[in-house]
């Protein structure tokens, strides 16, 4: 087994919509008689994954959103959530946070509550079968009506005891500034949810500080655009906020031109708290293990530095203090064993 496959891991940035198994997608396309020209597994892979012709974040999101064709039907999300947790377990992930946009999946269901409950049921079924901790983050969308996002922020905390632990927002940062969503985020935070915000993925890194100061972000999804502005780097460092960084995704969305230009090494060296995610692994054709391999092969992280990235993820997890301490203790023991076996 590859040493990064063996590495015990934490994944804080994992979109359900971008993590659908191509085989499962194909099965539902055929079962539901959907009008898609997909006849076999190779065509399903090609349909869901980025290609050289995809040049922008918008192109990338078109591929992610293709899975919505099957998620509108009751029962599908339960299976997808189960498989997402199962796949994480097979990658030696000890703690997983899945995020998804509930309003995208209402379809034939009567309410956003039914969507959330279906995903939680799949996750709980997987946790009953595999030794992994999985939690859920709901993702609002900047382009949605603010009232829709406020409704989601009101509903979500009701499921805190069932494993829904976080609130996020994604979408065009420039077109929809943070101020519009303050009420939703304050309601989510007051309800006990952790706050993570997609910001500084593309465009201006100043949206990262807006997310922290205006929306109360505990973590930032991506955040890499702060790397060219030393004042922002220092401000984010002082805040103690963790960046959820997904290198391959950032190349596929053209947030950076090439992997070699990615600032994860720079940000880590500057003292920014960095965790590693896989974002949309089906869309990008990757695994979390392959992302960790990049840390070593492309960005020259030592094995000790790699274990620090894992532990940073655990420290930033949306868990209670006792749950987090137990996770960190378990990981520290396992990471020490991994270092002893694989240290360079």
Q: Which positions are catalytic?
A: 201
Instruction: Please tell me the number of Cα atoms within 13 Å of 39 on its side-chain side.
Output: 0
Rounding to the nearest 10 degrees, give the CA dihedral for residues 87, 77, 200, 300: 0
State the Cα–Cα distance between residues 263 and 226, nearest whole angstrom.
9
For residue 274, what is the DSSP state? Answer: E
State the Cα–Cα distance between residues 145 and 135, nearest whole angstrom.
26
- Buried-state track 24-44, b at ≥16 Cβ within 10 A, e below 16: bbbebbeeeeeebebeeeeeb
DSSP 158-207: GGGGGTEEEEEEES-TTTS-GGGGHHHHHHHHHTT-EEEEEESSSS-THH
Reported as type and span, the H/E element at residue 12 is strand 9-15
Question: Which distant-in-sequence residues (6+ apart) come within 8 Å of 90 by Cβ?
Answer: none
Tokens matching residue 198? 């997609």
Nearest alpha carbon to residue 46 among 288, 285, 291: 285
- ∠ CA 202-205-207, nearest 5°, is 95
- ∠ CA 43-45-48, nearest 5°, is 105
- ∠ CA 200-245-148, nearest 5°, is 55
For residue 241, what is the DSSP state? Answer: P
Q: What is the total residue count of the chain?
A: 344
Nearest alpha carbon to residue 127 among 98, 105, 106, 99: 98
Tokens matching residue 54? 């995809």
């Amino acid at each position: 087994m590859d040493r990064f496959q063996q590495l015990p891991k934490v994944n804080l940035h994992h979109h359900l919509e971008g993590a659908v198994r191509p085989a499962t997608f194909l099965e539902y396309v055929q079962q539901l008689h959907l009008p898609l020209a997909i006849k076999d597994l190779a065509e399903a892979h090609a349909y869901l994954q980025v290609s050289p012709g995809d040049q922008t974040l918008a192109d990338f999101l078109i591929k992610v959103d293709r899975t919505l064709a099957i998620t509108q039907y009751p029962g599908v999300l339960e299976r997808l959530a189960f498989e997402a947790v199962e796949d994480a377990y097979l990658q030696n992930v000890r703690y997983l946070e899945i995020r998804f946009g509930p309003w995208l999946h209402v379809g034939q269901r009567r309410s956003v509550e039914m969507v959330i409950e279906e995903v939680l049921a799949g996750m709980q079924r997987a946790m009953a079968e595999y030794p992994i901790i999985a939690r859920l983050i709901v993702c609002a969308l900047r382009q949605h009506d603010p009232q829709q996002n406020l409704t989601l922020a009101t509903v979500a905390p009701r499921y805190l005891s069932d494993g829904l632990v976080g609130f996020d927002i994604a979408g065009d940062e420039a077109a929809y500034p943070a101020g519009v969503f303050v009420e939703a985020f304050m309601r989510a935070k007051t309800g006990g949810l952790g706050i993570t915000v997609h910001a500084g993925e593309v465009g201006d890194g100043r949206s990262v500080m807006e997310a922290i100061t205006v929306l109360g972000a505990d973590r930032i999804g991506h955040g890499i655009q702060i790397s060219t502005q030393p004042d922002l780097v220092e401000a984010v460092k002082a805040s103690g906020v963790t960046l959820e960084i997904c290198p391959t995704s950032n190349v596929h969305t053209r947030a950076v031109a090439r992997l070699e230009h990615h600032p994860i090494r720079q940000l880590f060296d500057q003292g920014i708290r960095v965790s590693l995610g896989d974002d949309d692994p089906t869309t990008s054709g990757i695994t979390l293990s392959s992302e960790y391999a990049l840390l070593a092969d492309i960005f020259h992280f030592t094995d000790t530095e790699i274990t620090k990235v894992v532990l940073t993820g655990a420290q930033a997890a949306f868990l209670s203090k006792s749950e987090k301490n137990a996770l960190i203790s378990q990981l520290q023991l396992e990471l020490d064993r991994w270092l002893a076996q694989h240290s360079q």
